Amino acid sequence: MPEAITQGVRIHVLHQYQEPISDPLEGEFVFSYRVRIENGSREDYRLISRHWTITDSTGRRQRINGDGVRGIQPRIATGDTHEYASWCRVGTEMGKMGGYYLMERERDGDRIRIWIPEFQLVAPMVLN
Would you say residue 1 has pLDDT above 80? no
pLDDT by residue (tens digit) across 28-78?
Answer: 999 999 999 999 999 999 999 999 999 999 999 999 999 999 889 999 999
Report which of 118, 120, 68 is spatially closest to residue 94, judged by C-alpha positions: 120
User: How many domains does one find in the chain?
Assistant: 1
- How far is C-alpha 41 from the chain's CA centre? 20
- Domain containing residue 12: CATH number: 2.60.40.1470
Residue 51 has a CB neighbour count (10 Å cut-off) of 15
pLDDT by residue (tens digit) across 5-36?
Answer: 999 999 999 999 999 999 999 999 999 999 99
E strands within 7-110?
9-17, 29-39, 45-56, 61-67, 75-76, 81-90, 94-105
Q: Which residues of 76-94 are buried (b: 16+ CB within 10 A; e: fewer)?
A: beeeeebebeeebbbebbb
Domain of 112, in residue numbers = 3-127
CA distances from 76 to 32, 70, 73 (A): 23, 15, 9
115, 116, 117, 122 alpha-carbon torsion, rounded to 10°: -150
Length of the chain, in residues? 128
Pairing label, strands 9-17, 29-39: antiparallel
Q: What is the DSSP letter of 87?
A: E
Please state the rounded mean pLDDT for residues 77-93: 97
